[in-house]
Amino acid sequence: MKILVINGPNINMLGVREPEIYGDKSYKALTEKIKCYAKAKGVKVKLFQSNYEGDIVTEIQRALNIFDGIVINPAAYTHTSVAILDALKSVNIPAVEVHISDVPAREEFRQISYVKQYCFKTITGHGLEGYIEAIDSLIERAEGKV
Ligand code: DQA
């Protein structure tokens, strides 16, 4: 099984960026945590982070016929991007939406998520552990358990 993990703008600033909201672990620590877990589970994983909406759209398009699952934290684009939603719909690969912070408890402008319409699951407020839960959900779905 091959899983693509996509992170949107400012996720590369983890550890520096608002640590009271996003924690003190770096993006590198997140990538290592994910790679280590994927290896233990026998899953191939690719990590992609971009601050550019179009690059995220292109990466999703490139996943067609290559990846079996997508974990996506579109970050601020969650609340604005119809293009990312449409890209996910285009490739039709099972996807899980992840947010590090507890988005439902935050500002009104964060309450809309476009990708939520496509993703079969949303994990929010579980910190970096949310990515691990998302990988588990994709594995379970591939095994026909979800
Ligand atoms: C986020 C929540 C978004 O509202 C915010 O713009 C982010 C990160 C999260 O992981 O909690 O950049 O997606």
Query: Measuring from atom 9 of ligand 1, which residue has the nearest CA?
Result: 99
Look at residue 102 and tell me whether its pLDDT is greater than 80: yes
Q: Who's near 85: CB < 8 A, 6+ residues apart?
A: 114, 115, 117, 118
**What atom in ligand 1 is closest to the CA of residue 22?**
11
**Domains (ranges, CATH) in the chain?**
1-100 (3.40.50.9100)
Query: 20-44, pLDDT tens digit by residue?
Result: 999 999 999 999 999 999 999 999 9
Tokens of 62: 């490139």
> Closest Cα to residue 87, out of 43, 117, 48?
117
At 115 the three-state DSSP class reads: helix
**Is 99 noted as a catalytic residue in this protein?**
yes
Looking at residue 123, its pLDDT comes to 98
- Distance from the CA of 100 to the center of ligand 1, in angstroms? 7
- The model's confidence at residue 111, banded by pLDDT at 50, 70 and 90, is very high
Q: Among the options 27, 77, 99, 114, which is catalytic?
A: 99
Buried b (16+ CB within 10 A) or exposed e, 114-130: bbeebbebbbbebebeb
The average confidence (pLDDT) of the chain is 97
Query: Which residue among 100, 106, 115 has the greatest number of ligand 1 atoms within 8 angstroms of its CB, and so is best to mutate?
Result: 100
Residues 6-27 have a mean pLDDT of: 98
* Residue 107 CA to ligand 1 centre (angstroms): 11
Residue range 43-49: average pLDDT? 98
pLDDT for residue 78: 98
| Per-residue model confidence (pLDDT) at position 146 | 60
Active site residue 77: no
pLDDT tens digit sequence for 49-88: 999 999 999 999 999 999 999 999 999 999 999 999 999 9
